[in-house]
Amino acid sequence: MQIEVTTWYLEMLDPAQLRPKLSEHPHLEIRQAEVPCPELSRFLYASVGGQWYWCDRLPWSRDRWLTYLNRPQVETWIAYISGTPAGYIELEEHPQGDVEITCFGLLPQFIGQGIGGHLLTVGIQRAWNWGANRVWVHTCSLDGPFAYKNYESRGFTRYDTKVAIEDLPDSPPGPWPNSNISLPAS
């Protein structure tokens, strides 16, 4: 099906712009995945993005995932609740000191618990500690209903908007075929 998709580009130009939101969830832990692991990254990508039409990386081979992850310019940080992966943020350092949030989100059962603001805060702090001159991200009208607001609430400002017609499957791919996961009420 063809659908009009709006993409918003947001940036943070100074660490002082960050408005942190930290969770007091007693079982929340954020850890870096220090060993490049295509299986883990593909699981996170499909599980977090499957409901939002994240399709670009689904056809990647294991070797392509490993090549992408096995670069010092890419870091993956994972939120765990009681040892279970709840979401992740992936950062990629670009030339001239830009750090892009390439992937960010939560698995469906963890949405709406205040974890996303905390994970985004930790990711942004890591980008600045990495030596970023600018932290940026893009989100679109296909993403979760809280994505844009979370970025804006953390201090990002919009610097560009693009509208395009996208050719998409009739339904989001989900974390695996025929998964039909229902999302929490917003």
Print the SS3 string covering the chain. Answer: CEEEEEEEEEEECCHHHCCCCCCCCCCEEEEECCCCCHHHHHHHHHHHHHHHCCCCCCCCCHHHHHHHHCCCCEEEEEEEECCEEEEEEEEEECHHHEEEEEEEEECHHHCCCCHHHHHHHHHHHHHHHCCCCEEEEEEECCCCCCHHHHHHHHCCEEEEEEEEEEECCCCCCCCCCCCCCCCCCC
Q: Which tens digits make up the pLDDT trace of 157-174?
A: 999 999 999 988 788 887
Q: Which tens digits make up the pLDDT trace of 83-98?
A: 999 999 999 999 999 9
pTM exceeds 0.75 for this model: yes
CATH code of the region 2-167? 3.40.630.30
Q: Which tens digits make up the pLDDT trace of 81-135?
A: 999 999 999 999 999 999 999 999 999 999 999 999 999 999 999 999 999 999 9
